[in-house]
């Protein structure tokens, strides 16, 4: 029993703007560095780490398959969270607007190969959801005291479809 289906859409900066930043090398670099041998796509994420600091972690997550049962959303009130894939595979990103402290209608995005995301502080999201092995990601998020995780169970769940 599902509440409804959510159809995946391609991840674009415009559609994802209310929820976070898209990290990719679209278009021309902001600057060429290293004697012209490297394009720098400069300062592309709006990161926050309230009462804490930035941490860099590696996640090795189990790949899921579509259709995907979305039964949990969470958010981090004290910090942003960036997921940078360490393989050129698309992954699933699920987010939802906040409606008076609970998540509204979720949206589902499929990344293009090589795209990463930075979730803005407090954005409702599904947990990291790779669709292919190795499920390896670099993650930049808040390291600090106190709780930084609010979870919301979706019962009945949504079904995310391609």
Name the residue nearer to Ni ion (CB basis): 81 or 115. Answer: 81
Shortest distance, position 43 Cβ to ligand UGC, whole Å? 23
Beta bridge partners of 68: 160
Stretch that binds Ni ion, among 26-34, 80-88, 90-98, 109-117 (CB under 5 A): 80-88
Instruction: Give the residues lining the site for ligand UGC (CB under 6 A).
Output: 74, 81, 125, 127-128
Q: Residue 84: helix, strand or coil by DSSP?
A: strand
Could you tell which of ligand UGC, Ni ion, none binds residue 128, using a CB distance below 5 to 8 A set by kind? Answer: ligand UGC
The DSSP symbol for 85 reads E
Name the residue nearer to Ni ion (CB basis): 79 or 90. Answer: 79
- CA angle, corner 43, sides to 38 and 46, nearest 5? 150
Q: How many CA atoms lie within 13 A of 158 on its CB side?
A: 23
Shortest distance, position 110 Cβ to ligand UGC, whole Å? 17
Cα 5 off chain centre by = 20
Shortest distance, position 76 Cβ to ligand UGC, whole Å? 6
Shortest distance, position 158 Cβ to Ni ion, whole Å? 18
Beta bridge partners of 49: 79
- Cα 162 from Cα 68, distance rounded (Å): 9
Stretch that binds Ni ion, among 16-24, 27-35, 77-85, 86-94 (CB under 5 A): 77-85
């Amino acid at each position: 029993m599902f509440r409804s289906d959510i159809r995946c859409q391609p991840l674009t900066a415009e559609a994802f703007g209310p929820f976070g930043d898209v990290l990719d090398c679209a278009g021309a670099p902001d600057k060429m560095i290293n004697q012209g041998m490297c394009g720098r796509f400069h300062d592309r994420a709006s990161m926050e780490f309230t009462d804490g600091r930035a941490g860099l972690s590696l996640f090795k997550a189990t790949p899921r398959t579509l259709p995907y049962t979305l039964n949990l959303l969470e958010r981090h009130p004290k910090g942003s969270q960036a997921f940078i894939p360490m393989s050129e595979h698309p992954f699933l990103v699920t987010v939802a607007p906040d409606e008076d402290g609970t998540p509204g209608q979720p949206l589902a995005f499929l990344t293009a190969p090589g795209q990463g995301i930075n979730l803005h502080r407090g954005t409702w999201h599904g947990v990291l959801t790779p669709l292919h092995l190795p499920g390896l990601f670099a993650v930049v998020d808040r390291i600090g005291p106190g709780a930084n995780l609010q979870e919301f169970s979706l019962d009945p769940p949504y079904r995310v479809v391609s």
